[in-house]
Every structure is written in C-alpha cells, then in structure tokens.
Amino acid sequence: MAVMARRAEVQRHLKKLNKQVIKSIKSPDGDIIDCVHISKQPAFNHLLLKNHTVQAKKAPTVGLHCVD
C-alpha cells in the first residue's frame, strides 16, 4: 500500500511541475529543449518567489532552431 501512496504522491508532484510548452528548440548538439512561459518557470512555485516580478530582456537564440 505504501508503494501506491508514494506513486500517487509522485504523480501529483509531476502534474504540478509539468507546464505547457510554448516552443521546442533543437540545440546544435541535438538536444531538444522545451520552452515554457517565463512566468510559468518551476522556480516561481517556491514560496519566496510567489509574487516575484520578472524583469528581463529578451536574449538572442544564437545557434538554436525550432522543432516543429
């Protein structure tokens, strides 16, 4: 029974972490990178960052291209 409870706990945690992918890009070495909206980054789930306002400039995506 403990295994079932642990599995359910892990599934709840994964559901909370998984965010909607905006775009997938492929790096020059072949890695696929899934992009999520900056305000939906998992780090912002932390209590100390709950009301944090993101202040960032857009960075160029040199060497990366979209995967459709």
Over its C-alpha atoms, the chain yields an Rg (Å, rounded) of 16
> What percent of the chain is modeled with pLDDT above 90?
3
Q: Report the pLDDT averaged over residues 58-62.
A: 64
Residue with tokens 């706990």: 9
Q: How many Cβ atoms sit within 10 Å of the Cβ of residue 44?
A: 14
H or E element that contains 42 = none
What pLDDT, on the 0 to 100 scale, is given for residue 60?
Answer: 63
pTM exceeding 0.85: no
Sheet arrangement for strand 65-66: 32-35, 23-26, 65-66
